[in-house]
């Protein structure tokens, strides 16, 4: 591929600027992302004394356990997780996401074995550092901005790296070792960046739905195009027909178990006297198996059932990339995410080392662009598209261009 040398220098300049700004945050994202991948194993050992109990001969009814949970939980539970083994304490859940808390009841003794408040856990703090730098909404916007610039880093990096004189083993597939440290670290950064570029784009796509500007825009598009969850998924408009006594939780657990849904099965409780019981499963390793079924709280009759096919295409795509981002598709996905976080860390450090070896004292080392270079319509179109997709990128780009304009304007002209 023949490259435009002036364009190459211009893109190299923006790759340099984006990297210099993003580098510290990319290191935080890669390290915290790697730590969070161990959430399951870490919490399994740390919370074992709460979640696991000794098997006994007699059991307390689920209805009684529900009453115990109502009396002891910080906030009244709105759902219960169906246990999959006899040595598991029954989990009653209140709230969602960061406001979630789980109270565990020993099904044999009826005693509360403990309560886990999500926001107080160590892994929740790691997640908050990863997603918002522990600074709330402001931090979320910073992370979104960095993620946007990472897309620019990948696109500009691909063009700058792409060979013009044919493909060679050294410098394109393996780093050159005998040409000095700076060349070695430069190759290490560029080669790993190229071969992981597609994967990094996919991982960024899995993280962006959690952001503010991009995430909210995506939700609005889902709403307008009706490609999110169907209105019936949550069952807000469904009502039970009051007739005699309501079903016991034991009867609902039996119905949920008979469905034989894979993954983690949860029963949502009726919100009021006319509310319904809802049974659904969470199974990130195979999203197509997920269902949500609503039952009349008095007759136990199935009112409505939603399969994963009923969910809109944008929501299904969003949930897929988010599950991939968290390494939830199995061992292969977990190892792939771990290798990616390690590679991203190596890429960042090698770029920094290469830069420090190249940088001259008293100079930022920003690549020089010929004054005769003008941005073509193709680049402008790409920038407009990126601005529309990533609004915070557009704002930051205008800010940087404004600063550069003012600096150049105040420079003394050479006579």
Quote the CA–CA distance of 210 and 229 in Å, as a whole number: 17
Q: Is the pLDDT of residue 230 over 60?
A: yes
273-299 core/surface letters (b: 16 or more CB in 10 A; e: else): eebbbbbbbebbeebeebbbbbbbbbe
Q: How far is CA 28 from CA 132, 143, 227, 371, in A?
A: 11, 10, 34, 36
Q: Averaged over 151-156, what is the pLDDT?
A: 91
Determine what percent of the chain falls in helix, strand and coil, rounding each to the nearest 5: 55, 10, 35
Residue 173 three-state SS = coil
Q: Which segment of 201-210, 270-279, 398-407 scores lowest on mean pLDDT?
A: 398-407
Q: In this predicted structure, what is the pLDDT of residue 372?
A: 81
pLDDT digits (tens, 9 = 90+) for 184-226: 888 889 888 988 999 999 999 999 999 999 999 999 999 999 9
Q: How far is CA 89 from CA 12, 83, 377, in A?
A: 57, 7, 63
Q: Which segment of 113-117, 177-181, 228-232, 255-259 scores lowest on mean pLDDT?
A: 177-181
What stretch of H or E contains 165? Answer: none
Quote the CA–CA distance of 123 and 36 in Å, as a whole number: 7
Q: Averaged over 13-31, what is the pLDDT?
A: 90
The dihedral built from the CA positions of residue 297, 299, 303 and 307, taken in this order, carries a sign that is positive
Q: In this predicted structure, what is the pLDDT of residue 410?
A: 67
Quote the CA–CA distance of 94 and 76 in Å, as a whole number: 6
- Hey, which residues does 294 pair with through a beta bridge? 278, 304
pLDDT digits (tens, 9 = 90+) for 239-249: 999 988 999 99
Mean pLDDT, the chain, integer: 90
Q: In this predicted structure, what is the pLDDT of residue 277?
A: 96
Q: Is the pLDDT of residue 97 over 70?
A: yes
Q: Is the pLDDT of residue 259 over 90?
A: yes
pTM for this prediction: 0.88
Q: What are phi and psi of 12, to 5 degrees?
A: -65, -40
Q: Is the pLDDT of residue 130 over 80?
A: yes
Contact 346, 192 (CB under 8 A): yes
């Amino acid at each position: 591929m023949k490259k435009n040398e002036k364009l190459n220098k211009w893109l190299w300049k923006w790759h340099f600027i984006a990297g210099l700004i993003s580098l510290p945050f990319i290191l935080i994202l890669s390290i915290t992302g790697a730590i969070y991948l161990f959430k399951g194993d870490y919490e399994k050992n740390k919370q074992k004394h709460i979640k696991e109990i000794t098997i006994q001969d007699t059991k307390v009814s689920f209805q009684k356990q529900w009453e115990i949970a109502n009396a002891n939980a910080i906030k009244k539970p709105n759902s219960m997780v169906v246990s999959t083994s006899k040595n598991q304490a029954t989990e009653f859940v209140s709230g969602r996401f960061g406001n979630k808390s789980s109270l565990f009841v020993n099904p044999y003794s009826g005693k509360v074995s403990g309560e886990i408040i999500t926001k107080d856990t160590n892994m929740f703090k790691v997640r908050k550092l990863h997603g918002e730098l522990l600074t709330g909404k402001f931090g979320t916007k910073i992370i979104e901005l960095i993620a946007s610039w990472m897309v620019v880093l990948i696109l500009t990096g691909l063009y700058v790296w792409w060979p013009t004189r044919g493909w060679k083993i050294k410098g394109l597939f393996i780093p050159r070792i005998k040409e000095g440290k700076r060349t070695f670290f430069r190759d290490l950064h560029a080669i790993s960046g190229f071969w992981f570029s597609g994967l990094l784009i996919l991982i960024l796509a899995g993280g962006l739905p959690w952001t503010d500007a991009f995430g909210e825009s995506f939700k609005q598009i889902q709403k307008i195009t009706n490609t999110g969850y169907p209105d019936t998924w949550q069952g807000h408009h469904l009502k039970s027909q009051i007739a005699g006594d309501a079903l016991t939780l034991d009867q609902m657990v039996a119905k949920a178990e008979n469905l034989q849904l894979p993954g983690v099965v949860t029963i949502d409780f009726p919100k009021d006297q006319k509310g319904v019981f809802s049974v659904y499963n969470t199974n990130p390793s195979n999203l197509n198996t997920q269902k949500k079924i609503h039952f009349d709280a008095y007759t136990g009759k199935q009112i409505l059932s939603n399969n994963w096919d009923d969910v809109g295409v944008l929501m299904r795509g969003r949930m897929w990339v988010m599950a991939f981002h968290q390494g939830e598709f199995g061992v292969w996905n977990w190892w792939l995410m771990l290798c990616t976080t390690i590679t991203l860390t190596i890429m960042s450090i090698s770029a920094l080392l290469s830069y420090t070896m190249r940088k001259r004292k008293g100079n930022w080392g920003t690549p020089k662009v010929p004054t005769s270079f003008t941005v073509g319509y193709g680049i402008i179109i790409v920038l407009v598209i990126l601005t529309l997709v990533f609004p915070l990128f557009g704002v930051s780009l205008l800010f940087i261009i404004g600063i550069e304009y003012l600096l150049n304007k105040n420079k003394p002209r050479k006579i």
